[in-house]
Structure 1
């Protein structure tokens, strides 16, 4: 997920909710909740920003969804992986971000590309710092239990090995609770530097029987 050797890629998503035009009349208003990963959404628009070495038309074709189609956040995450595959096939290293603006049941997507040259790609994950760790979709297992089981915390240096180890640790917590889960780490570079936000996206499954 974080490997940058050769044509390494890092993918992530930034979510905003509500209307950017809405101004509260009196006092701050709490933003609406973020839809679940499998909640139906209508795709309003898709745009591409920051790409220089891979054409926008190719990126949009790899993304696979267009205005007016029905999608979910999970489908959009999978579509972003297809863009990552495109970059790998072109031999272009990049950090890939996906900015989602969600209002009611409509979502607008901006694909954010930070392409880098071969020298930058060879740097690897050295120097990457976790500013924040978040867990998303864990309704049956509390966040404190998952945070206690993982080693990547706020301010920690991150590596592929640490990321893989924490994924195994989260799976173990679910097994101990006789639950199944699909776990997908995503990273976001909000300031476009070496500081990132790590989001564990979890799709919980039916309880496991004692015989499993």
Structure 2
């Protein structure tokens, strides 16, 4: 059965002072169930990313072949209605591979429990800040690096950083997009793959509040 876990996060302010706030996450107590839910959520996400691009044409899709090659009777040859028959060279393909988008389903409650479980287990690698500030005049990767460094994170370490914010702006997107080891996502886009890949989770207080509201 799901239970509510209390987490006491330390929040880093702009002036580097530290506040604390208590948040609640709804997770499953059973460790085996936790691993099962995380596995299912990850498998579902990877399946939905999967596509099959190999695509052959059937006889109706191959261009041409509208004219009957020869008359029905009297030639001594087998009957033929189209040069695009699968029996002919240049014709369609029978039972060939077709383009396909794979789809897998996962219940919303299961997905939420899986995400909450990863957030709870990665508490030690999570840094909370009041806000991420970039000057409003123009995008700046230099300012983005400085903002991350302010929180005690060295971008040059090449650790994978997941930055979760309440609402993504074009300014933030352009400022962080050149940092290969930093992924910027909104709360509504939180996914199990990004959480598992991240070495450090950097989240704003407003984003954490939104996660907390969705769990209550």
Q: Same fold (TM over 0.5)?
A: no
TM-score normalised by structure 1 residue count? 0.24
- Looking at secondary structure, tell me which structure has more helix per residue: 2
Structure with bigger strand share is: 1
Question: Could you say which structure has the larger radius of gyration?
Answer: 2
TM-score, normalization by structure 2 = 0.23
